[in-house]
Amino acid sequence: MLNVTIDSFAYAEIEILKNISFSIQRGDHLVLLGESGCGKSTLLHLVYGLLHLEHGSIHWDKKQLMGPTYNLVPGEPFIKIVAQEFNVMPFTTVSENIATYLSRQDSDGDAARVAALLKVVDLEHVSDTLVKHLSGGQKQRVALAKALANEPELLLLDEPFSHIDSFRKNKLRRELFAYLKQKNIACITATHDSEEALAYADKIMLLKDGAVELAGSPEYIYLHVSTNYQAGFFGEINELPASLFKETNSSESLILFPHQLEVTQTKTKLRVEVKKSYFKGSFYLIEANWKGRNVFFTKEIALKEGEIVQLQLI
């Protein structure tokens, strides 16, 4: 349904996005993953119609979206965006905020709609509270529910859980993305949270300096990282000479996650000294030293500082 081609987009001659092309269907969830300043928010604003795209095109169901140059009111009516600056009204209640865009012609239907969305964002207990009295995370959840009240065809989320506590964030993500799938609402999320991307995306587009570094399913992305930048989104990484694990005369390096290394009793070229063991619940992350550089690997038990162990590639 959505087809985006961006040859180039710039602010005051500073190029922000380049050579980006993708499409998504109804119900799809695309995650834009990247560091701050890589162009994620700008891409969302282009799709929504807040910015004019001169070099490229954006189509929804074969209709070209023309942006603010051609629309008196920026933004498409079938698209909703939830930005990092919350679009909420502080002096009305949570329920009244969520009902802002409803027709008000069916009071019972509107009330049922608001009640359903309060449950999705877990705000039933503050439904009659003025928004000005809420925490930042609660306001963010109000903004999410408000965007869904008049059901969009495409939802754009810019760091949608940045102000929400971790213990509540997990449940909210499950509820929200399940709801979007159930309603067949397409979604594009901009985030730097790799856990969110891996668990809930149908497709990930990893951006760097305004261009696509890597794109594909979460499984594909995780298994095909090839640089420190790409791998760094998924936790600690090791960049080690390939010659440690195979016979080669090249200077090739391997990018390895901690779980790809294991302790062995066999003598290997990778002999490390343990620096610290970090408890991770079901395992320990071990930080060790090899010729002055940090090496990370996992173990089911903690290892003592100064212990010497041999590592091999799994």
The CATH code of the domain that includes 240 is 2.40.50.140
Task: Please count the CA atoms within 13 angstroms of the CA of 197 that sit on its side-chain side.
Answer: 28
Give the pLDDT of residue 249.
78
Query: Within this chain, do residues 106 and 130 fall inside the same structural domain, yes or no?
Result: yes
Residue after which a domain boundary falls, among 227, 257, 278: 227
Query: Within this chain, do residues 220 and 274 fall inside the same structural domain, yes or no?
Result: no
Domain with 15, as residue range(s), is: 2-227
The CATH code of the domain that includes 182 is 3.40.50.300
Query: Within this chain, do residues 300 and 174 fall inside the same structural domain, yes or no?
Result: no
Residue after which a domain boundary falls, among 209, 227, 245: 227
247: closest CA among 226, 266, 269? 269
Each of the 314 residues of the chain gets a pLDDT tens digit; together they read 999 999 999 988 899 999 999 999 999 999 999 999 999 999 999 999 999 999 999 999 989 998 898 887 878 889 999 987 778 999 999 999 999 888 778 888 999 999 999 999 999 999 999 999 999 899 999 999 999 999 999 999 999 888 888 888 999 999 999 999 999 999 999 999 999 999 999 999 999 999 999 999 999 999 999 999 999 999 999 999 999 998 887 889 999 999 999 999 999 999 999 999 999 999 999 999 999 999 999 999 999 999 999 999 99
Query: Within this chain, do residues 257 and 203 fall inside the same structural domain, yes or no?
Result: no
Whole-angstrom CA distances from 19 to 8, 23, 123, 139, 206 are 6, 14, 41, 36, 13
Residue after which a domain boundary falls, among 227, 253, 272: 227
Query: Within this chain, do residues 76 and 19 fall inside the same structural domain, yes or no?
Result: yes
Q: How far apart are CA 177 and CA 187, in angstroms?
A: 9
Query: Within this chain, do residues 282 and 149 fall inside the same structural domain, yes or no?
Result: no
Q: How far apart are CA 240 and CA 237, in angstroms?
A: 10
Place of tokens 């903004």: 143
Query: Within this chain, do residues 123 and 259 fall inside the same structural domain, yes or no?
Result: no
58: closest CA among 2, 106, 97? 2
Q: How far apart are CA 108 and CA 236, in angstroms?
A: 52
Give the pLDDT of residue 13.
84
Query: Within this chain, do residues 133 and 35 fall inside the same structural domain, yes or no?
Result: yes
Whether 81 contacts 152, CB under 8 Å: no
Counted domains in the chain: 2
DSSP 34: -
